[in-house]
Chain A
Amino acid sequence: MSARLEADHLYKVFGRRQDQAVERLRAGADREELRADGTTAAVIDASFTVDPGQIFVVMGLSGSGKSTLLRMLNGLLEPTAGHVRFDGRDLTALGDRELREVRARKISMVFQHFALFPHRSVLDNAAYGLAVQGVPRAEREKRAARALELCGLAGWETSWPDELSGGMQQRVGLARALATDADLLLMDESFSALDPLIRRDMQDQLLTLQKTLKKTIVFITHDLNEAMRLGDRIAVMRDGRIVQNGTAEDILLRPADDYVASFIQDVDRSRVLTAGAVMDTSVTADAPLCRCETASPTTPFAELCAISARVPHRVSVVDGAGRLVGVVPRQRLLGFLGDETADPVPCDAPDGKVAAHA
């Protein structure tokens, strides 16, 4: 099995008669019916896999069950039904002690409100996970200092959490999670409490770190822009169910239902789309025909527009080997920007030119 993490038909129900509630949900009952009986279905039939080195984003509004889902992944909450497999091990079958061991060594977590220990210095906070593992003080302080440095906090070791800005505090939270060398990073709305500018910084930093660290990350957010920026794959949750699971472009270009569609209306497409997503792949060749400027599949949409303005014809999209993998006509660019995929309607003017009547 290549997946690092696998959620297999997870259910989480709070309240009375939970097993019975799961049966009813399997039979097709919906959340509201159960609520009348005093049980709350937080997560319903959630299944997905996360590959090593991937950032898997779970996106949903508050109350959609995404935080509950995340807490089942490291066993903070026990699933009512279903299994969580991590590196092939069924976490749901582990005892408390083994589960704690997994949490201490393999899975770490970053919290929405940072959850730094106010009675420990920055260094001690970063070293917390290692202290739990029983790593000797000298070594854990060295590793914690390295994690802090990685997160851009060198020199702040002896400070206290409340002396730091929100962004810096969350860097400490990130350093604490990274210091244990866990393979799996669970991030619970970790950037939601930050200012927009700082949030962007943190997203960039996470992406930069990820390039070298190649952790497996499950990231929870309610912000679709953030989901699109970070996620290799995105699962959209609504009312406890995963309604769509795919790449950013899948969700943007092929929303599974009206709910997802209404969600993506506000998304700034120019930020998310790349040449690879918008290109017309029906045109391919071993090499471009001309020596005009070309784009690569990862060229962002905004830059693609700039190239298109400089080139008199369709922009050629070329892969690493120099082969033509697609083309982007200007018409198509405008279509994506305006969320219009249909072809242009013919003009009724005789020569097809738009002109003012004299």
Chain B
Amino acid sequence: MPRLHLGDWVDSGVDWLVAHLSWLFDAVKAVVEGLYDGIDAVLTAPQPLLLAGILAVLAWWLRGLVAGVLSFAGFALIDSLDLWDQAMSTLSLVLVATLIALAVSLPLGIWAARSRAVSATVKPVLDLLQTMPSMVLLIPAILFFGMGVPAGVVATLIFALAPGVRMTELGIRQVDAELVEAAEAFGTTPRDTLLRVQLPLALPTIMAGVNQVIMLGLSMVVIAGMVGTGGLGGAVNEAIGQLDIGLGFEAGLGIVVLAIYLDRLTGALGTRLSPLGRRAAAKARTTAWSYRPRPAVAVACVAALALVAGGLGVFGGPSGTAEATGENVGRGKEVKLGYIPWDEGIASTYLWKEILEQRGFKVTTTQYAAGPLYTGLATGQLDVQTDAWLPTTHAEYWQKYGKRLDDLGQWYGPTSLELTVPSYVKDVNSLADLKDKSAEFHGRIVGIEPSAGMMGLLKDKVLKEYGLQGSYEVVDGSTPAMLAELKRAYAKKQPVLVTLWSPHWAYAQYGLKKLKDPRGAWGKGDGVHTVARQGFAEDNPEAARWLKDFSMTERQLTDLEARIQQAGKGKEQDAARAWLADHPGLLDKWAPADGGAAGTKAAAAADSGAAG
């Protein structure tokens, strides 16, 4: 069979689109961002409990008292888990995606219902969109829209579009043909036939489609979190990346609360909107539990709560960022930091967020997987990342994007890659010892993401060098899975062989033994580099200079990492601030302000509010 170069065509097609249709993508991006910002601003304006009250009244009106009380409890739970902002940002994302999905899918569904040709054309496209693994669509989405909400919304949208179109078409086709004929026989225009007969009668089915759109949108939120949409999806991703089971569960629970609320609400909305459903509901017996306020009462309640929300003047809470002290070098300029959830990445990123904010910059930090992170930098959507392992581990990304990136130099090193066993595995100390011990480890080396540079190195070089191919199988997986496996085996004192690297907090947490590499198969260690997008240095000469001169000792780094680990999730910047305060002089050394009156008191004067 000749090889079809389908992939190459797609590649060049995407490149062409990026080159020639960027105005279109920018326009779409602007619309999506505008919608998202608007909705998010409304949702985050009132006090959380007040908004929970408003949402609960909505549920009460549409479904009844129990639903109202449970909604309030659910949203109060989210608030008490400290996930309110994330939840609202996820809700905004889903609402925007749903709105756009409906704006596209309803007309498309109507059109498909009226024309067999359209229906036949649309069907395979929908199949493609719905079943194509969503990760495959994410990277082009980043290339088109950049990281962040628009890419997430578009990925969500594409995935959620199909049921909207299908159910609309089905609903309209299901309407009794004799009824449509009756409408025509009385001289109804096609437009009125649609609006007065077909759509009202198709409404229950269409609403089921809307419900599906929302549910699929929510299920995409976690995946969209990988491209930096933040919200609960981002929280879940962060939790997974850092093996934080507790936070993952909490954020997951937040998504569940949102899902159940939206599901029940749209279900009830379908009943309320459709005349037939209204009648059925009216026939049902009313009890205290199912009592629902009249629309006027509900609107009054919502309005009253909204007025309270407005009257309290709670619009726009104070943000928990550090205040600029000393020389205001940044003058509010924005710097976008991206990071991979590796400990030295988190530590250095939040350290620099704190430093730059004290110097007057406005800094955002977002967690990504390595691929999107490099894509974001190369396309200029991110400014800096501090965790580039070069030249080996991130070699692939550097090869692909290096020409479009600016290496600001190594700040820590050397690092090392290794295979590691728990220290209770007595007789294995070097890679050379592994040869006959295959049975002990069940022939498994627990690996990380197959895309990681060290995995390629391991499979292609290290195993060969020590003659281990055949007797060992490298298990592809993920870093969290590898760490979970290590934790499990460690707790049971079972032998386990994992891929690991230094620096890594696991060495502090467990008694581990790096296997020696007498033949140097892993190569020389990497350095941890700071990488900026092209042009960053010209735009921000001071910041670029500071980053270029930056370096940390192992002691400083592990100390900072430990501080952050202790402070816990969500308090990274506080920990970095406290750590800086404990090491006076470092701030001025790393970010010397030209005026010289550098703020040694910067830390003390800094705002004490938590970031995020």
Contact = CB atoms under 8 A, between A and B. Distances in A.
Interface of A: 74, 76, 100-105, 107-109, 111-113, 115, 117-120, 128-129, 132-133, 160, 176, 180, 186
Contacts of B275: 119-120
Interface in B139-183: 176, 178-179, 181-182
Interface of B: 176, 178-179, 181-182, 184-189, 192, 197, 200-201, 274-276, 279
Given A117-B197, A119-B200, A119-B201, A128 B178 contact: no
Please provide the 10 A-B residue pairs with the shortest distance between their CB atoms, ordered closest to farther. A104-B187, A115-B182, A103-B187, A119-B275, A109-B185, A100-B187, A115-B178, A129-B186, A119-B200, A132-B186
A112 B178 CA distance: 9
14 contacts: A100-B187, A108-B186, A109-B185, A113-B178, A115-B176, A115-B178, A117-B182, A117-B197, A119-B274, A119-B276, A120-B275, A132-B186, A160-B279, A186-B185
Given A117-B197, A118-B201, A132-B192, 14 more contacts: A76-B185, A100-B189, A101-B187, A105-B187, A108-B185, A115-B178, A118-B276, A119-B200, A119-B275, A119-B276, A129-B187, A132-B187, A133-B187, A186-B185
A115 B186 contact: no
A112 B185 CA distance: 13
B200 A128 contact: no
Contact of B179 (A76, A107, A115): A115
Contacts of B276: 118-119
Contacts of A111: 178, 181-182
A60 to B, nearest CB: 20
Contacts of A100: 187-189
Contacts of B201: 117-119
Contacts of B188: 100, 104, 132
Nearest to A109: B185
A117 B184 CA distance: 13
A109 B201 CA distance: 21
- Interface SS of chain B: helix
A128 B193 CA distance: 12
B92 to A, nearest CB: 34
Contacts of B187: 100-105, 129, 132-133
A109 B185 CA distance: 6
Nearest to B197: A117
A118 B198 CA distance: 11
Contacts of B200: 119
Nearest to B193: A132
Contacts of A119: 200-201, 274-276
| Residue with the greatest number of chain B CB neighbours at <10 A, chosen from A103, A104, A111, A132 | A132
B206 to A, nearest CB: 14
Contacts of B182: 109, 111, 115, 117
The A contact surface, by secondary structure, is: mixed
A308 B348 CA distance: 118
Interface centre among A119, A132, A160, A176 (most CB of B within 10 A): A119
Contacts, number: 57
A76 B192 contact: no
Contacts of A129: 186-187
Nearest to A104: B187
Contact of A104 (B179, B181, B186): B186
Given A132-B192, A160-B279, A117 B185 contact: no
Contacts of B186: 103-104, 108-109, 128-129, 132, 176, 180
Contacts of A176: 186
A105 B187 CA distance: 8
A132 B279 CA distance: 24
A74 B279 contact: no
Contact of B181 (A76, A105, A117, A133): A76
A129 B184 CA distance: 10
B192 A103 contact: no
Contacts of A120: 275
Contacts of B179: 115, 117
Contact of B185 (A74, A105, A113): A74
B227 to A, nearest CB: 43
Contacts of B176: 115
A119 B202 CA distance: 11
Contacts of A180: 186
A112 to B, nearest CB: 8
A128 B188 CA distance: 10
A108 B189 CA distance: 15
A105 B186 CA distance: 8
A119 B183 CA distance: 13
A284 to B, nearest CB: 48
B486 to A, nearest CB: 62
A130 B392 CA distance: 79
A128 B279 CA distance: 20
A249 to B, nearest CB: 32
Contacts of B178: 111-113, 115
B459 to A, nearest CB: 62
Nearest to A97: B189
Contacts of A76: 181, 184-185
B403 to A, nearest CB: 61
A98 to B, nearest CB: 10
A170 B502 CA distance: 84
Nearest to A74: B185
Nearest to B278: A119
B271 to A, nearest CB: 13
B417 to A, nearest CB: 68
A103 B197 CA distance: 17
A89 to B, nearest CB: 15
A256 to B, nearest CB: 32
A103 B185 contact: yes
B182 to A, nearest CB: 4
A186 B188 CA distance: 17
A129 B183 CA distance: 8
A88 B279 CA distance: 46
B41 to A, nearest CB: 38
Nearest to B182: A115
A186 B182 CA distance: 12
Contacts of B189: 100
Nearest to B189: A100
B171 to A, nearest CB: 13
Contacts of B274: 119
A38 B187 CA distance: 32
B195 to A, nearest CB: 12
A76 B182 CA distance: 10
A104 B188 CA distance: 7
Nearest to B279: A160
A117 B178 CA distance: 10
Contacts of A103: 184-187
Contacts of B184: 76, 103
A102 B187 CA distance: 7
A100 B186 CA distance: 8
A56 B279 CA distance: 40
Nearest to B201: A119
A134 to B, nearest CB: 11
For B179, B181, B185, B189, which residue has the most chain A Cβ atoms within 10 angstroms? B185
Contacts of A115: 176, 178-179, 181-182
A353 B192 CA distance: 78
A103 B181 CA distance: 12
A347 B182 CA distance: 63
B218 to A, nearest CB: 31
A76 to B, nearest CB: 6
A239 to B, nearest CB: 24
A262 to B, nearest CB: 31
A100 B201 CA distance: 22
Nearest to A99: B187
A129 B279 CA distance: 23
Chain A CB within 10 A, most for which of B179, B192, B201: B179
B127 to A, nearest CB: 31
Contacts of A107: 185
Nearest to A125: B182
